[in-house]
Amino acid sequence: MSIGHTLLGLLESGPRHGYDLKRAFDAKFGHDRPLHYGQVYSTMSRLLKNGLVEVDGIEAGDGPERKRYAITEAGVTDVQQWLATPEKPEPYLQSTLYTKVVLALLTHRDASGILDTQRSEHLRMMRILTDRKRKGDLADQLICDHALFHLEADLRWLELTAARLGKLAEAVTR
């Protein structure tokens, strides 16, 4: 999963402090793997350096200064490109796809389009494997079948997610 893109996407709804970003990330995507503060700040300084976010304000407090970050136009474009680019089919892809779909719903983008594009990418890979299987020997067939069944499982997840987009939208924007 791209933490940078996810944090950028979370900033689309408005400027936030690093601490708020971590909390929002953990609530939506962290599950059993919350972000470390260090990850948030190192990611934000990289995004800042690349012009994808800017400092919207600095608050002085008892502890260290608290920077509030805002996404730039370049940042919005970067999120858009990331969401529109299908992921390479591979095991445990669902965490990245889940993040993309939720982020699309949060930022009012076309989540079903993301699923369609990903399905197409998976099918492209399945066509290559099916063709290899037809031309290959039994060993080829078994190897390709293994990959095909895994891709098929991903696709079932995509279909189910597509069917549940309405409910998911309600849950994440609540």
Partner 1 sequence: MTPAGSLLAAHDLHKAYGPTHALDGAGFSIHPGEIVAVMGPSGSGKSTLLHCLAGIVTPDSGSITYNGLEMATMNDSRRSALRRSEFGFVFQFGQLVPELTCVENVALPLRLNGTSRKEAERTALTWMERLEVDDLAAKRPGEVSGGQGQRVAVARSLVTGPRVLFADEPTGALDSLNGERVMELLTDAARSTNAAVVLVTHETRVAAYSDREVVVRDGRSRDMERVV
Q: Which residues bind partner 1 (CB under 8 A)?
A: 86, 112-113, 116-117, 119-123, 126-127, 129-130, 134, 148, 151-152, 155-156, 159, 162-163
Minimal distance, residue 77 CB to partner 1, in Å: 19
Which residue type sits at 83? L
Tokens of 77: 């474009």
Minimal distance, residue 51 CB to partner 1, in Å: 29
Answer yes or no: are the C-beta atoms of 35 and 3 closer than 8 Å: yes
Minimal distance, residue 130 CB to partner 1, in Å: 4
Spatial distance between the Cα atoms of 50 and 53, rounded to a whole number of angstroms = 8
Tokens of 50: 């690349």
Of the pair 95, 120, the CB lying nearest partner 1 is at 120
Of the pair 26, 145, the CB lying nearest partner 1 is at 145
Of the pair 16, 122, the CB lying nearest partner 1 is at 122
Minimal distance, residue 79 CB to partner 1, in Å: 19
Q: Find, among 50, 37, 63, 47, the residue nearest to 9 by Cα.
A: 47
Of the pair 55, 128, the CB lying nearest partner 1 is at 128
Spatial distance between the Cα atoms of 40 and 22, rounded to a whole number of angstroms = 7
Minimal distance, residue 128 CB to partner 1, in Å: 9
* Terminal-residue alpha carbon distance, the chain: 23
Specify burial of residue 122 (Cβ count, 10 A radius: 0-12, 13-18, 19+).
buried
Of the pair 31, 134, the CB lying nearest partner 1 is at 134
